[in-house]
Amino acid sequence: ISFLYTCTAVLIFPNIDSVEDELELSAVRHRPEGLEQLEALTRFNRKELQILYRGFKNECPSGVVNEDTFKDIYSQFFPQGDASTYAHFLFNAFDTDKDGSVSFEDFVMGLSILLRGSVQEKLNWAFNLYDINKDGYITKEEMLDIMKAIYDMMGKCTYPLLKDDTPRQHVEIFFQKMDKNKDGVVTIDEFIDCCQNDENIMRSMQLFDNVI
């Protein structure tokens, strides 16, 4: 009887290997608004929008970027370190309507500010990036988070060696420079004022103007 048992078991056995097919949820698809509308919304011309969209759609065929894909893409530019935290902050800065995904409109509007905006707008954008909870003030904790995220991107193989309090020190310097009334937070006016008086920052803001 055990022989019969084993025979039947052997016959059944190969079927156990088959993996159940799972139903794949169809990905969220998104189609952007027409070229004309986008041209009106942003400061790119048609050709530039075309090139941008082609690159965007190539990497994200579904038309939207969710946070994980965003982190993936951004991390590929910084292989030595961990770019995911900073990518998270960037994602929040780009995702203006807070729907958890960056569509092409969000993407292109953000880029329009960064590449074609006035210095004021760029500084505004940067302030928005640093202000994690979007309450209009940059606190030391928020800045520390951002700083740590930036330093994370360097990885550990740096020269000179990264110490644990390097981000904190950097934040201290930042606050010394920016926080004019020493109340522990940086408001948008203090920020823009201070940046406009710093010629290094002003010069570097123009650096990427001809990226597209």
Partner 1 sequence: MAAGVAAWLPFARAAAIGWMPVANCPMPIAPRDHRKRHDELIILNVSGRRFQTWRTTLDRYPDTLLGSSEKQFFYDEETKEYFFDRDPDSFRSILNFYRTGKLHYPRYECISAYDEELTFFGIIPEIIGDCCYEEYKDRKRENAERLQDDQDDNKDCKLPNMTYRETMWRAFENPHTSTMALVFYYVTGFFIAISVLTNVIETVPCGATPSQKDMPCGERYTIAFFCMDTACVLIFTVEYLMRLFAAPSRYQFMRSVMSIIDVVAIFPYYIGLVMTDNEDVSGAFVTLRVFRVFRIFKFSRHSQGLRILGYTLKSCASELGFLLFSLTMAIIIFATVMFYAEKGSSSTKFTSIPASFWYTIVTMTTLGYGDMVPKTIAGKIFGSICSLSGVLVIALPVPVIVSNFSRIYHQNQRADKRRAQKVQKARLARIRIAQTGSSCTGFLQSKRNDLLNELLELTGSEEEEQQLNKGMSLLESQHHHLLHCLEKTTAHEFVDEQLYEQNCLETTIQSYTSRSPSFSSQDGPIGTCCTRRGKMNSPLPNSSLPLQPSHQQGSLQELSALHIQCGDKLPHTTSRSSLNMKTDDVGLINCKGSQITTAIISIPTAPSDTTDGGALHGPPQRRPPPPPTGPQAPSINTTASSNVIKVSAL
The window from 25-33, 35-43, 70-78 that contacts partner 1 (CB under 8 A) reads 70-78
Beta carbons of 212 and 44 less than 8 angstroms apart: yes
Decide if residue 211 touches partner 1 (CB under 8 A).
Answer: yes
* CA separation for the pair 132, 136 (Å, rounded): 9
CA distances, 130 to each of 78, 112, 179 (Å): 20, 19, 14
The window from 23-31, 33-41, 165-173 that contacts partner 1 (CB under 8 A) reads 165-173
Which long-range contacts does 198-206 make (Cβ < 8 Å, 24+ apart)?
Answer: 202/119, 205/119, 205/122, 205/123, 206/119
DSSP one-letter code for 101: E
CB of 170 to partner 1, least distance (A): 6
Locate 25 and state its tokens: 């949820």
Decide if residue 49 touches partner 1 (CB under 8 A).
Answer: no
Residues within the interface to partner 1 (CB under 8 A): 1-2, 5-6, 9-10, 12-14, 47, 51-52, 54-56, 58-59, 73-74, 76-80, 90, 93, 107, 110-111, 114-115, 122-123, 125-126, 129-130, 146-147, 150-151, 153-163, 166, 169-170, 172-174, 191, 195, 200-201, 203-205, 207-208, 210-212
